[in-house]
Amino acid sequence: MKQIFLLALITTSLSSCFQQYYKTNTTAKIFVSNFDQQHIQNKVIIVHTPGEAFVLKNVKNDSGSLTGDKETLNPKYDKYMNPDANAANRYPKKEKDIALSEVHVYTNSSFEGGQPVNLSMNQIYRLDIYDKDLAATRRARTLSIVGIAAPVVGGAILVGIAATQAAENLQNIPLNINFN
């Protein structure tokens, strides 16, 4: 009985407990103001072209254009390159700074070599600004708490029932005391 209880607790504890989720906030309506928002200021801007993806460094938002220097994409960002825009996407808590720091800009334009990038807003057909998905994270937290609490409460009830039955069985045992 104790082994079953421990197995249930361990299984529940190790299976997607307290997972973190992010959403892409995908938009096809691109405005200069999208890039002026405070929550974008310290994020990594990843530009997707038909041939490659790269990081845009030293970003400036000038008169309807996004300009900056083209740099090679760090492989640590590969994991979050193609999330499902219509679903909650999971990330490990230790990768929070990576998963929540990305802004993805999609364009059909190409940028050859190491020249500075000048991308006008009308060349961008999609923008993803990754952010924490609070609803999905809360749902996972609630399910995790219930998943951990249920076996604990169930185990306590079973132990209580077993103890009650044992006490009843002890009361039904006749005492034969011989005082010879």
- DSSP letter (8 states) at residue 125: E
pLDDT tens for 114-168 read: 788 888 888 999 988 888 887 766 776 666 666 666 666 677 777 777 777 776 7
pLDDT tens for 39-80 read: 667 788 999 999 889 999 988 877 778 888 999 988 888 888
Looking at per-residue confidence, does 147 or 105 come out higher? Answer: 105
Which tokens is 58 given? 């030293």
Looking at per-residue confidence, does 146 or 24 come out higher? Answer: 24
- Cα distances (Å, whole numbers) of residue 55 to 30, 45, 107, 116, 117: 19, 6, 13, 12, 10
Residue 115 CB coordination number (10 Å): 9
Q: With 60 as the cut, is the pLDDT of residue 15 above it?
A: no
DSSP letters spanning 91-110: E-GGGHHHHTTEEEEEES--
Which tokens is 11 given? 């299984």
Strand, coil or helix: 21: strand
How buried is residue 46: exposed, middle or buried, by Cβ count under 10 Å (0-12/13-18/19+)? buried
- DSSP letter (8 states) at residue 121: G
User: For residue 21, what pLDDT is reported?
Assistant: 79
